[in-house]
Every structure is written in structure tokens, then in C-alpha cells.
A and B are shown apart, each in its own frame.
Chain A
Amino acid sequence: MINYVILSMTLLAIGIYGLLTKHHLLKVLISIELIATAASMNFVLLASSLNKAMGEAFLILAFSTDTCVTGIVLALLITVSKKYGTSDIRKLAELEWQAAVENEKGKSETDGDDG
């Protein structure tokens, strides 16, 4: 018999692996989706095996939240990739670092002119 707890834990492990190792924003979003699916599956199948409908009610509540989160994250992904031209987390971090350094340089130059 397939044990659903182990199945959901395997899906959770795959999601965490993707979250930790992948650098593309879309992959990170897919990893979050897998983690959410694993958690929902655990609730639904355990409740179903106990003949309780609470798991299904929970799933519907979780779906609405999950869809909202996914929509917002996808909107942020599109905005970021249109603004910076990349979806790689490492490149985005480098861009942020460069912007901070340039801001610091600009501040020091302004202070020097004033002095």
C-alpha cells in the first residue's frame, strides 16, 4: 500500500531541494508550489483515510491563499525581469550590490563638494 505520508515528505524534500539549489525565480516559485502541494496532500489524504471531510474544507481554504500568493509572486517576477532584464537571483543580488555601492559613492562625492 502506498503510504501517503512518505509520498508527501518526498515531495516536500524535492521542493526544499529546489528552493535551496535553484537560482531562477520561476524554479523557486515551482519549488514553493511543490511544498504547498505536499502539505495540502498530507492533510487531505490523512483526513480522507479517517472519513473526515475537514481535510477537503481545509484544502479549499488553502487553495485560495496559495493562488493569491502565486499570483502576487508571479507579478513580482514579471516586474523584476522586465526591470532588470534577468530572473537569476545571483545577478539580481549583484545588481543590488552595485546600486548600493554607486549610491555610497554619490553620497561621498556630495559630502566632498560641500566640505
Chain B
Amino acid sequence: MVVSAFLAIYLDDAVYSVASLASTLVLVAILYSLNDAVFAAVFQLGISAGALAVLFLSGETLSEKISQRKPLRKAFVATTVAILLSIPSIFFSVGNPSTTVSSEVSFPEALWNLRAVDIVLQGLVIMTVALGIAIVLHAKKEGGN
């Protein structure tokens, strides 16, 4: 995960960079599912790895191409650095979180009873953004005609 995230930043070609980011997000989804966070894994896989990758690729088609390519030696050094960066998360530990404070809160209860106001407000924000984009596009279309 760390290696693919580092390559997503390091690689010059935008398509490879987006592919690395998509693989990072898929690995994050797998990590969620391994930790019994199934809903989070499904959302991560569906939204991030699907929609964002498509958005990035569509953005790449309209943005300029970066023609410079880095030599193979530099890519090898970058991969080695990324592997070294991933070592701390594998071998070092700052201690496991205490499970004595655990309380059983189900996912629907957390979503609808505890965060209901947030969800409603967020729905309003998204509706406002969508309305704003529609108004701007409409104004642009009328201005063009």
C-alpha cells in the first residue's frame, strides 16, 4: 500500500500514477474488510476505486501530457525508498488500543440514531452543490447562445 501510494506521487506519467492510486485504494478496501469493517470496505471499493479512478482518467484526457520519462534506475531507487518507508508500519508498534472501553454499537444505529443530523445536513450540502453546478452550467449555456 505504501509502495503504490509512493509511486502514485512519484511516477510522471499520469495514467500510471492514477493506476497506482487506484491500487492503493483497493488495498485500503481489503484492509477494511480484513478488520471486519465490511460497510467501509464496500463504500471504499465502490466510490474511491471506481468513481475517482474514472474521474482522474477523464481529467487526464483533458490535461497536458508529461513527456519526460524517468530512467529505470531512478524508478528502482524510488521503489526501494517506498519499501523502506513501509518498514515502520510492519515492524514497529505503539501499543494496541485497549478493548476494555468497547461498546456494541451497530452500524445502522450509529448511522441513523447518532449521526442522523449530520447525514441530513450533508444531503442538503450536496443538493446545494448540485444545484449550484446546474445553475452555472445553465447560465453558461445561455451566455454561449
Main secondary structure of the interface of A (DSSP, over half): helix
Q: What residues of chain B have their CB less than 8 Å away from a CB belonging to chain A?
A: 1-2, 5-6, 8-9, 14, 17-18, 21, 24-25, 28, 31-32, 35-37, 39-40, 43-44, 47-48, 51-52, 55-56, 58-60, 62-64, 66, 85-86, 88-90, 92-94, 96-97, 99, 101-107, 109-111, 114-115, 118-119, 122, 125-126, 129, 133
- Name A16-62 residues within 8 Å CB distance of B: 17-18, 22, 24-27, 29-31, 33-34, 37, 41, 44-61
Main secondary structure of the interface of B (DSSP, over half): helix
Contact partner of B89 (CB less than 8 A), chosen from A7, A18, A52, A75, is A7
Give every chain A residue within 8 A of B103 (Cβ-Cβ): 51-52
Query: 3 tightest CB-CB pairs across the interface, nearest first?
Result: A18-B9, A7-B89, A53-B107
Contact partner of A57 (CB less than 8 A), chosen from B93, B96, B114, is B114
Report whether A60 and B43 are in contact in the complex, using a CB–CB cutoff of 8 Å: yes
- Tally of chain A residues near chain B (CB < 8 A): 62
CA A65 to CA B89, docked complex, whole Å:
28
Report whether A67 and B51 are in contact in the complex, using a CB–CB cutoff of 8 Å: yes
